[in-house]
Amino acid sequence: MNTVFKTITENEDNTAIYEEAGRIIRVGGLVAFPTETVYGLGGDALNKDSSQKIYAAKGRPSDNPLIAHICDIAQLDDLVSDIPSCAGDLAQKFWPGPLTLIMKKKAGVPYETTGGLDTVAVRMPNHPVALDLIRYSQRPIAAPSANLSGRPSPTKASHVLNDLNGRIDMILDGGSVGIGVESTIIDLTGSKPMLLRPGYYITDDFKQILGDVLIDPAVANITSGTLPDENIKPKAPGMKYRHYAPKAELVIVSGEDKKVTEKINELISQKEAAGIKCGVITAGEDPALYPKGLIKDAGSSDEERAASLFAILREFDETDTGFICARDLSEGRLGNALMNRLCKAAAGRIIRV
């Protein structure tokens, strides 16, 4: 399949591109597009064939449900059978934005979209290209992150091209995304709201509307940096898969600053002595602290780190690095979301000093 690559240019008339992209979605094709979190791989959420194509293009297990993206709150009526009143309040405050809500699905939403579940995940993305694409397609758009299954989520159109060229109909390039980690997921179908995936919004942000939000124990495990207990099944099926994994072995080193630096330098020296090319993911420190290895700085604030982490993991894949040490990134508001991704990328390998 030939993948058409189109760049959306601000202040220019992109109507013809959107009309073509919208038509592709309506006839059951796939279009990758930017959102404020990561790039998504979109298809008609109400067409089971489109959802099957998404799984095939990504190589994704079909029990891992997709998020339906909307541009207008009225589209909830096409997707959700029973809209809880708190959903309206959350939508008012957080949409468009990086929040996904799990609710009971309408009969018309195919099980192919929801991974066989009776619930559906919905969000309204805060990105003009995503919103225009949904508008022109006149459909809710099912979109997982636009990466091959298991790889880091794409934060630039070039990442999507690397993973999915020849496997999808079109890529809309809208530049680098702003946030860089996927949306926060809240399940509203239980007796109490539950956080299924940490993201830009944290549980405190929902206090006013939802009161206390439970945290899926499978998520809490990963966030605290321990390997998830295999007996705890995450409520978001996608959270059980290994994700974001770079080709190199990745370990996280956590603890007091000076000790962390020492430990990283010690590990790198050992690996280099064994002939293995090494890399370090730093967190805004002076690169002179790390005399050995290929240094990639994630940035000194949590927001910079979120925006750069997935791209850094991909950059290492383009080198012959065999071993990477990353500093703990749990500091700041986005620390939980970052450690959740980093721990998965490291398959839970964390060294505390």
Instruction: In angstroms, give the least distance from the CB of 127 to Mg ion.
Output: 17
Per DSSP, the residues of 42-86 read EEETT-HHHHHHHHHHHT--TTSPPEEE-SSGGGHHHHEEE--HH
Under the binding rule (CB under 5 A), the answer on residue 183 touching Mg ion is no
Contact 203, 102 (CB under 8 A): no
Instruction: In angstroms, give the least distance from the CB of 189 to Mg ion.
Output: 21
Taking CB under 6 A as the binding criterion, the range among 71-79, 120-128, 206-214, 267-275 that sits at the site for ligand TXA is: 120-128
**Phi, psi dihedral angles at 177 (to 5 degrees):** -75, 165
Under the binding rule (CB under 5 A), the answer on residue 184 touching Mg ion is no
Under the binding rule (CB under 6 A), the answer on residue 87 touching ligand TXA is no
* Residue 6 or 69 with smaller CB distance to ligand TXA: 69
Q: Choose the one of Mg ion, ligand TXA, none that binds residue 321, judging by a C-beta under 5 to 8 angstroms depending on kind.
A: none
Under the binding rule (CB under 6 A), the answer on residue 306 touching ligand TXA is no
Instruction: In angstroms, give the least distance from the CB of 137 to Mg ion.
Output: 21
Buried b (16+ CB within 10 A) or exposed e, 79-94: bbeebeebbeebbeeb
Q: Site for Mg ion (CB under 5 A): how many residues? A: 1
108 pairs with which residues across the strands?
none
Other beta carbons less than 10 A from residue 220's beta carbon: 17
Under the binding rule (CB under 6 A), the answer on residue 119 touching ligand TXA is yes
Residue from 32, 102, 186, 280 in contact with ligand TXA (CB under 6 A):
102
How far, in Å, CA of 240 to CA of 128, rounded?
31
Under the binding rule (CB under 6 A), the answer on residue 64 touching ligand TXA is yes
* Residue 120 or 134 with smaller CB distance to ligand TXA: 120
Query: Closest Cα to residue 194, out of 206, 180, 182, 181?
Result: 206
List the interface residues with Mg ion, window 122-151 (CB under 5 A). 145
Residue from 24, 239, 342, 346 in contact with ligand TXA (CB under 6 A):
239
Q: Pattern 226-255, binding to Mg ion, x per CB under 5 A?
A: ------------------------------
Other beta carbons less than 10 A from residue 131's beta carbon: 19
* Residue 182 or 328 with smaller CB distance to ligand TXA: 182
How far, in Å, CA of 250 to CA of 321, rounded?
10
* C-alpha gyration radius of the chain: 20
Instruction: In angstroms, give the least distance from the CB of 274 to ligand TXA.
Output: 35
Query: Closest Cα to residue 235, out of 278, 192, 173, 172?
Result: 192
Give the interface with ligand TXA as residue ranges (CB under 6 A): 35, 37-38, 40, 64-67, 98, 100, 102, 114, 117, 119-121, 125, 143-145, 182-183, 185, 196-197, 235-239
